[in-house]
Amino acid sequence: MQRLNYKKITFLLLLVFKTGFGFSQIAPAPVIREEAFSAATPEEEGFSSKGLSEIFTYVKEKKPNIHSLLVIRNKKIVLDAYFYPFRPDLRHDIASCTKSVTSLLIGIAIDKGYLKSEDQLVSSFFPELKLRGKEFESLSIKDLLTMKSGLDCSWSNEDSLFNELFPSDNWPKFIFNIPFVAAPGQLFSYCSCNYYLLAEIIYRATGLAPEDFAKKYLFNELGITSVYWSKNKQGINYGWGDLCLQPHDLAKIGQLLLDGGKWNNKAILSASWVKKAKTMTTVFPNGNGYGYGFWIDKDHAFNMEGRGTQRLHIDSIHHAIVVVTGGGLSDEDKEGIGHLIGYAIHSDKALKSDPEGFDTFKKMEGQAATTMIDTPRYISDGTEKRRLFNKSIVFPRNSLGIKIAEIIAEKGELSLLLTPAGEQTVIYPLGKDAAYKFYQDAGSGHLYTLRGYWKAGNEFEIEWNMLSRINKYLIDFKIGDNGSEVSIKEGTHRINEAFPVTIGSKK
């Protein structure tokens, strides 16, 4: 059969991957799936098993920070890969993919009559805020959905705004005190605060927090039962992010949209809202655009996208869904994996079966979930461990908010004690050298992996991979005769800092 031109296939949107590739000695627990999707060989859906196997070879060699990769076509699972130490039973922070879910909740609220339409004025939901001005008075729900609020809020100043927003007791009041720099509806500026306001509107219109509203009208309908969504002190979920779902459940949302808002022939969301969500309201110079919380390709596909290469790609021409979770990929790795997926597609029809190629493919898929390949370079021991271990390490102000740390060495085992400013002390198990130790947060269910190793006689590094929370920190302790230093690096937040620390005996 004739090979399709991979450059024209929107699976290349996979150029957003992030991989935390390590394979585990611990086999993941079996996961019982609902029958939303059924399994198929790649060949049955026009893919090459040998071509898809090249993805595992690439990851093993290049070690991108990808956590999971799921490819579904015609409701058939073609590829379902998990890369150690991530596991299929874990929820993953989908970051700003959450914005797309919030958009769907607004659509459902309109369908159910809780909201009149997206043209409804935002000011009508905040009567207690005695604000005046033509910008505030003309701001609509649609302006928030399309990132055209006109507020002085964008990627460039989001971190500084969040630093002030989180301590605030009145988030709407804080956001509406951000100056307007343009009239609503005129200028695209990617502002997460817009989507918090949408979350607050859902609560004020329905009497339900966004998570509860989603469970009632969306998640429960799709059989999505494993959910975690961060919220503020007022109990309002962050409409912009921090929703955590399992990859298969994110795929269910993709299938809902691919089927025009229907699930098992039942309308969950109006087809008109799906159409609006994937219609460009802003067109970028490259021809792609933005709709109601969705990133739209110039051909026929649309996407939910989040920090660290979280992505749901919906391809209406090829009837396909791709889900990616990760901890941050380079552009080179995004392109590399995307090309491999494109090359693996040969036809819209079934290919001749390839039992040998399929068997190899399934073995590599299994090895990806159970085999450690991301081994750091380390030496067997450090000459300065007596000066570092079992000591109180006092930090200055830093991006992690750490006040005091201690690397505890006891009975041949290591652990990491961290005391963040204003928070309780937590002790994390710390693997030695290449081996991970695991820590699961009791509240959120997030799984962290940690390991520590000597890079040199006077340099000890800790890899703190927050895994299902995306962030992977490298914390480097360097002992010197004229003082000691710590550096912290994390790619998705572009953290790269170094500072002196004080190491002393424990009190």
Which tens digit of pLDDT belongs to each residue from 422-442?
Answer: 889 999 999 998 899 999 998
Domain boundary among 193, 222, 251: 222
Average pLDDT of the chain, as a whole number: 90
CATH of the domain at 447: 2.40.128.20
Residue type for position 490: E
Does 235 fall in a domain?
no
Strand blocks (E) in 411-446: 413-420, 426-432, 437-440
What's the domain count of the chain? 3
Of 24-28, 143-147, 327-331, which range is least confident?
A: 24-28
Is residue 354 located within the same domain as residue 395?
no
Could you tell me which residues come within 8 angstroms of residue 35 by beta carbon, excluding any fewer than 6 positions away?
none
Does 231 fall in a domain?
no
Give the confidence band of 6 by pLDDT, cuts at 50, 70, 90: very low
What three-state secondary structure class fits 238? coil
CB 316 within 8 A of CB 300: yes
Is residue 81 located within the same domain as residue 101?
no
| Beta-bridge mates of residue 315 | 301, 320
Does 185 fall in a domain?
yes
pLDDT, tens only, 7-20: 334 344 333 333 23
Q: Which domain holds residue 464?
A: 385-504
Is residue 281 located within the same domain as residue 327?
yes
State the pairing for strand pair 413-420/392-394: unpaired
Is residue 101 located within the same domain as residue 81?
no
CA pair distance 239, 383, nearest whole angstrom = 49
What three-state secondary structure class fits 245? strand
Does 208 fall in a domain?
yes
- C-alpha distance from residue 52 to each of 131, 338, 363 (Å): 56, 11, 12
Could you tell me which residues come within 8 angstroms of residue 299 by beta carbon, excluding any fewer than 6 positions away?
8, 10, 317
Give the confidence band of 35 by pLDDT, cuts at 50, 70, 90: confident
Does 234 fall in a domain?
no
CB 94 within 8 A of CB 244: yes
Is residue 195 located within the same domain as residue 295?
no
CB 308 within 8 A of CB 327: yes
Is residue 362 located within the same domain as residue 247?
yes
CA pair distance 205, 219, nearest whole angstrom = 19
pLDDT at 24: 31
Residue type for position 31: V
Does 435 fall in a domain?
yes
Is residue 142 located within the same domain as residue 169?
yes
Is residue 432 located within the same domain as residue 357?
no
Is residue 29 located within the same domain as residue 148?
no
Give the confidence band of 292 by pLDDT, cuts at 50, 70, 90: very high
Does 238 fall in a domain?
no
Is residue 33 located within the same domain as residue 148?
no
Q: Which helix (H) or strand (E) holds 502?
A: strand 495-504
Strand blocks (E) in 121-242: 228-229
Is residue 76 located within the same domain as residue 116?
no
Is residue 254 located within the same domain as residue 319?
yes
CATH of the domain at 126: 3.40.710.10
Stretch 306-334: mean pLDDT, rounded?
92
pTM, to two decimals: 0.91
